[in-house]
Amino acid sequence: MPEGQIVRAVGGFFDVRTPEGDIRCRARGIFKKKNLSPLVGDYVIFERTGPEEGVVTEVRPRRTELVRPPIANVEQAVVLFSLREPPFQPVLLDRILVHCERVGLRVCICLTKLDLVPDRSEVEQIAKIYTPAGYRVAATSIRTGEGVEQVKEWLKDTLSVFAGPSGVGKSSLLNEILPGLRLRTGQVSAKLGRGRHTTRHVEIIDLPDGGRVADSPGFSRLDFTGLEETELGDYFPEIREHAVHCAFRGCLHRDEPNCAVREAVDKREIDPGRYRNYLQFLQEIIENRRFKKW
């Protein structure tokens, strides 16, 4: 039976890419019974029902899976946050990074709208926080072209997902990387301080240099359903590095004695802001668990 990869999902249809071209498919009803929905990025087996039509009959095992945006088998996340309009949101960035770490994605951080920032030291301060944690950081401007080539280098020879809140310029940057793409872009609401969703579905786009990228709808909220409090530190790379030296196994790095993580925070080896966000997420996980017991 023929196989391919889902590159687009719209209105219950899945466009499956094969060497012979794209086949528009529906999914068999059996997937609903299994509580399984095919995702963009899935490698699937399908049956042809017409020259360019078919039915997905099987989904191959996934290497990675994201829920928001819903996509499978990506290797890298390019997480975009604007420096202005809307303003930089470190808590939301750290929340997204936790979810990317949890599914094993490489992560690059792209700071957009650099032309709106008069003082470049702001970018340097953000880079000082995230580069030691192992993340690549670039600042870009589609008006000046600055930083765009660096992002292009990140995208070569891999399947990446563009993700981030609405209005940060994901589609605008993709239009700059791939002229002629003409993805819809939107304005940021001055009243709400966030952008409108201009990307309505997830779609894998082929790039000239051999890489592929998935444009996806923006999102502004992610919870930690299913995450245990003892796991959270594993998804902050700098906390994970120091946690092996804590005196107690299962240390939550809050108030335990001889905690190597808190010592690293005191020495500024771990950024205090990142640590505060860790504590905020930890409390959220604990409260969610208590709520479920009621």
The answer to whether 114 is a known ligand-binding residue is yes
Query: By C-alpha distance, which of 80, 123, 89, 133 is closest to 242?
Result: 133
The owner of tokens 């994970």 is 240
The answer to whether 255 is a known ligand-binding residue is no
CB-based contacts of 149, cutoff 8 Å, min separation 6: none
Quote the CA–CA distance of 80 and 156 in Å, as a whole number: 17
The owner of tokens 């504590």 is 279
Quote the CA–CA distance of 153 and 136 in Å, as a whole number: 12
The answer to whether 167 is a known ligand-binding residue is yes
The answer to whether 293 is a known ligand-binding residue is no
The answer to whether 170 is a known ligand-binding residue is yes
The answer to whether 113 is a known ligand-binding residue is yes
The answer to whether 166 is a known ligand-binding residue is yes
The answer to whether 121 is a known ligand-binding residue is no
Q: What 3-state class would DSSP assign to 177?
A: helix
Q: Are strands 65-66 and 71-72 parallel, antiparallel or unpaired?
A: antiparallel
Single-letter amino acid code for the residue at 174: L
The answer to whether 253 is a known ligand-binding residue is yes
- Helix (H) or strand (E) segment spanning residue 72: strand 71-72
| Structural contact between residues 236 and 272, judged by C-beta atoms closer than 8 angstroms | no
Quote the CA–CA distance of 235 and 176 in Å, as a whole number: 32
Q: Are strands 203-206 and 212-215 parallel, antiparallel or unpaired?
A: antiparallel
| Structural contact between residues 208 and 193, judged by C-beta atoms closer than 8 angstroms | no
The answer to whether 169 is a known ligand-binding residue is yes
The answer to whether 216 is a known ligand-binding residue is no
The answer to whether 159 is a known ligand-binding residue is no
Q: Return binding residues for Zn(2+).
A: 246, 251, 253, 259
Q: Return binding residues.
A: 112-115, 164-172, 246, 251, 253, 259
Q: Return binding residues for GTP.
A: 112-115, 164-172
